[in-house]
Every structure is written in C-alpha cells, then in structure tokens.
C-alpha cells in the first residue's frame, strides 16, 4: 500500500474573481473503469504563465482538452473566461473559442495551405474581413512570431521544427486572443530554437498581457518563464506554486521533478539568466536617470 501523500496547494490568499481566467472545481474524469482525475481543483490567474506538469498518463493533456471544449469531465465545474463550459450552447461556445488560441504540439497546420494561408484561416472562418486585410494581419502575426516574410509562402513540410512551432503560434494569435494554450511548445527542438521559443512566450505575455497555459516537460522552459506550476500525480493536483517553492517541498510526487541533475542544471541556468536580466534592468534605469540628479 502506497504511503499517504499530503497535497500542497498554493499558499497565497484567495484571488479576486475578476482575476481568475480559468477555474476547475472538483473535476473528475474517467474512461470506462480507468480513472484519470479525481477532484482536481486549480485556478489560472490573469496575465500569468501557468504550467501543468506530471508523468506520462497523469492526465495533463486530458485537462487541456477539457479546458478547450474538446472533452467533458465526468463531474465537476470548469469555468473559462467567466463561462461555465458545461452550460454553453453552440453559439456561445463558438464565441468563447474565438477568445483563446491553441498551439498544438505537432503544429496542427494544414499541409495543403501555405504558412500565411494557415495563419489567415481563423480570420476567414470567424470574421468578415476582406482577403487583403487578412493577408496583412497574417504577415504581421508571422513577424510577431519571429519569422521572415518569405516564410509565409512556404508549406508546412518545408519548415524546420522551430519554424513550425513559431508558425503554429502565429496562427494561435491570429484572432488576438486573451488566453493562449501551448501544448509542449519546445518539444523536439534543439537548445537554441527552444530558447527562442522561451523568449517569444515571455514577450507575448509581457507586451500583450496574455494569460498562458502550457503543458511541458522542458525544465529550462519552466524555470525561465512559468509564474506558477501545477504538479499532477495520482489523479489530482499534488501541489501548485512557483518553481522555487515547489523545489523546496518534501512531497514525493513533487520532489522527483527536482531531484535529478537536469533539474539542478536548469535551475542554475535560470538563476544566471535572472541575474543578467536584473543587471540589465538596473543599467537601463541608471541610463534613463542620467547624471542630472547629482549635478545640481
């Protein structure tokens, strides 16, 4: 019989309702006799980068599918952007989907369309904008994702892994969403490409105030960009908090993510990056302040 595990939730106080973008209450999911989740509770706050982690089969992808209306839980309540997902009609569900974007793990781009056509597809499906304006918006989203204009004329099969991720992100941003879902955004990428995606995710949140929910196994990404992380194990949320707070917990289900050399190396790299960012911010502030305060 396995030892009793004490579940550790976020220690902060209650979040005001207007600052909660996603809330899951007592969510349980099963497929026949196979139980995936039991009594999952979590909140995602406005303009935060929130990550779901857990071992294979822990139900991360299932939770994501439930958040984006691709699947329904057996019981419990899921509220996204102020709407109870269980009580939505088709018209309301379509309207809600326009308020979020999804970046799928393998891109999810249509192979018969160019990159620009893929990015413009949500605009053609959900707006009355003319083709010229849609092409202009698609070109802008392509640039936002860090891709050169000529990439828009290429087909998905002609893209590298990193370019595919960025093109998928550009399409997810096509409708100017409030909420962005990322499924393994750096999976399969080399370190340089993965670092570029890390910075791109931070940029989207910092510039546009997006709320971002992501599933990832990338420890570097978690340390670099995640504000809070929920750890799924044994069918429920074992703990939720910052990476630093989680790394100090004794919960066995949480500790295993932080005990290996890869996790320690990722934390050390994050510490170095944070120091560089702090020094850059301080230097910028000093440059703006200038010598005038001392020359009176």
Alpha carbons within 13 angstroms on the beta-carbon side of residue 39 total 3
Asked if pLDDT for residue 288 goes beyond 70, the answer is no
- The predicted pLDDT at position 274 comes to 54
Query: Which pLDDT score, from 0 to 100, does residue 257 have?
Result: 83
Q: pLDDT by residue (tens digit) across 180-235? A: 999 999 988 888 888 888 899 999 999 999 999 999 989 889 999 999 999 999 99
The share of the chain scoring above pLDDT 70, in percent, equals: 81
pTM: predicted TM-score of the whole model, two decimal places: 0.84
What pLDDT score does 195 carry? Answer: 86
d(CA 156, CA 110): 7
- Give the number of other CB atoms < 10 A from CB of residue 61: 18
| Confidence at 293, pLDDT banded by 50, 70, 90 | very low
| Percent of the chain with pLDDT strictly greater than 90 | 69
Write the pLDDT tens digit of every residue in 62-77. Answer: 999 999 999 999 999 9
């Amino acid at each position: 019989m396995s030892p009793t595990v004490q579940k550790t939730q976020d220690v902060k106080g209650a979040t005001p309702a207007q600052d909660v973008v996603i809330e899951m209450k007592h969510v349980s999911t099963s497929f026949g006799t196979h139980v995936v989740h039991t009594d999952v509770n979590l909140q995602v706050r406005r303009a935060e980068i929130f990550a779901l982690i857990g071992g294979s089969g822990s139900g991360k992808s299932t939770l994501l599918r439930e958040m984006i209306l691709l699947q329904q839980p057996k019981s419990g309540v899921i509220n996204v952007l102020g709407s109870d997902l269980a009580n939505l009609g088709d018209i309301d569900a379509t309207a809600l989907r326009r308020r979020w974007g999804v970046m799928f793990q393998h891109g999810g781009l249509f192979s018969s369309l160019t990159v620009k056509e893929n990015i413009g597809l949500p605009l053609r499906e959900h707006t009355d904008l003319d083709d010229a304006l849609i092409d202009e918006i698609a070109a802008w989203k392509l640039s936002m994702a860090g891709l050169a204009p000529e990439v828009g004329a290429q087909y998905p099969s002609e893209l590298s892994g990193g370019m595919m991720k960025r093109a998928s992100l550009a399409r997810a941003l096509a409708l100017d969403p409030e909420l962005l879902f990322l499924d393994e955004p750096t999976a399969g990428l080399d370190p340089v490409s993965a670092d570029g995606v890390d910075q791109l995710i931070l940029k989207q949140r910092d510039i546009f105030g997006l709320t971002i929910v992501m599933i990832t196994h990338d420890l570097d990404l978690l340390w670099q960009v995640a504000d809070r992380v929920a750890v799924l194990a044994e069918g429920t949320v074992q703990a939720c908090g910052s990476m630093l707070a989680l790394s100090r917990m004794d919960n066995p289900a949480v500790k295993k993510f932080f005990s290996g050399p890869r996790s320690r190396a990722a934390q050390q790299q994050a510490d170095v990056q944070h120091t560089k960012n702090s020094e850059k911010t301080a230097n910028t502030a000093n440059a703006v302040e200038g010598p005038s305060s001392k020359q009176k």
